[in-house]
A and B are shown apart, each in its own frame.
Chain A
Amino acid sequence: MSTPAGQTNLTLERENADRVLIAFETDRDGVLRRWSEGGHRVLGFAASELIGQSPPFAPPWPGHADWAVVAGAEDLVDATVVWTDREGGPHELAVSTTTFLDADGHPDGVLFSARDISQVSRDREQLAVYAKEMLDSYGRELHAFADLEQSYRNTVEALAVAVESKDSTTGGHIRRVSRLGALLAQAHLGDAARDPQLEYGFLLHDVGKLAVPDAVLSKAGALSSDEWRFIRQHPVEGARILAAVPFLAGAVDVVLHHHERWDGTGYPDGLAGEEIPIGARLFAIADTIDAMTSDRPYRSGLPLAAAIDEVVRLAGTQFDPACVGTLTRIEEDHLSALLEHHDA
């Protein structure tokens, strides 16, 4: 009588029904008249032990202790009961009643039929355990994922701080430019800007400066052509550093191309227009705005409005005009709040 795997068999075969269905009949006073094979098998009582008396399993019905009352009641049709077998073991049963009529149409006895639903209850409990653990696992997965993301971010920020400490003339630059870049990306890309790789790229844009000699980075006067070569090489050095870190693969676009120009005259690859990854195009604007509004030892910073005008002037040559358009649609107060230099 096995059920093929994956197929639900809702019908009971004759033999099985006789084994599991507890059926018995009482008169109107609750005295047992007939007893089934299934009753014998499930509850253990033989017919000879029960016929002629009230059934010994009690209570007969939830809230009722008297078989005569149950047998005489018209409104007790079905219920879940717990009856004890001959050995005292409990059985959870779904029971229903049917009233017989005599030749004159008067009530004459009641058929009780009951099926053991202990297995159904056990299945439900098992299902509940699965559901709870699945929810626990999901919660743990979310926590683990959040922890991992936070670890990535902390690592990236630590590396960004290391870069910044090397290039002390630009205090706070990385934090400001990352926030400004994120704002621009959000305004320009919408939900796509949520990719943390963009922000990792912003934070790490100058990681290649770790490979530039300190003397070149901190040199006050004009650079020689060799020194310029070092500077122009820093995006490539940055991409090389990040190449060993798979979780930063998406950040390389910004790191490698943040000095490209829309007209193709930037470095290191001379990419033009939309060949330049969008993150790098947006970042170039943020980088320039921050550089122009920052004080330097040899000059003080421009007002924000003047910096924006300058970026607008360079739309189509240095910058992507669409990205510049996005910049001009952001309220200036919003930009200036991000560029507060004193909290660096």
Chain B
Amino acid sequence: MPTILIADDEPALRRLVRVTLDTGRIRLVEAADGDAALAAAQAEHPDLVLLDWSMPGRTGIEVARALREDPDTAKIPIVMLTARTLPADRDAADEVKIDAYMTKPFSPRALLDLVRERFGPEALLA
């Protein structure tokens, strides 16, 4: 069963992502700030991280950079899920080699497509 880490300081957003992906065939782990996100990623080795940008403690970009710099976590796929939409923001995200960039408000269909492409349709058959 794939593990997805949902890192966002907004409880409502974490809950929304959780109910969207809660098929019983995906393990969902949550982190409410940047430090907790980094710790959870190091401990759980998730198969995907959905990473908010603006969080208390480390920002999402700082978390992504820390994950990339550690060989143990460098290959964990990271999807930035953020309200920041400026081209400069995307450039900054590209610099730390994130895997995908989704802007809020996010499309649940796009999120489901992304999960299906990574983990196969069976992950989404509730």
Contacts and interface: CB of A to CB of B under 8 A. Distances in A.
Interface in B1-33: 10-13, 15-16, 32
B105 A129 contact: yes
Given A2-B32, A122-B83, A130 B11 contact: no
Interface in B101-120: 104-109
Interface of B: 10-13, 15-16, 32, 83, 104-109
Interface in A105-132: 119, 122-123, 125-126, 128-130
15 contacts: A2-B11, A2-B32, A3-B11, A5-B11, A5-B15, A6-B15, A119-B12, A122-B104, A123-B12, A126-B13, A126-B16, A126-B105, A130-B108, A133-B107, A133-B108
Given A2-B11, A130-B108, A133-B108, 5 more contacts: A2-B32, A119-B10, A126-B104, A130-B16, A133-B107
B66 to A, nearest CB: 23
Contacts of B107: 129, 133
Interface of A is mostly: helix
B109 A137 contact: yes
A133 B109 contact: yes
**Interface size range on A against B:** 10 to 19
A133 to B, nearest CB: 5
B105 A125 contact: yes
B109 A122 contact: no
Nearest to A4: B11
Contacts of A133: 107-109
Contacts of B13: 126
A69 B113 CA distance: 53
Interface-centre pick from A119, A126, A128, A133 (highest chain B CB count, 10 A):
A126
Contact of B105 (A2, A128, A136): A128
Interface in A123-182: 123, 125-126, 128-130, 133, 136-137
A122 B32 contact: no
* Nearest 10 Cβ contacts at the A-B interface: A126-B105, A125-B105, A129-B105, A133-B109, A3-B11, A133-B108, A130-B108, A123-B12, A129-B107, A2-B32
Interface string A230-270: 00000000000000000000000000000000000000000
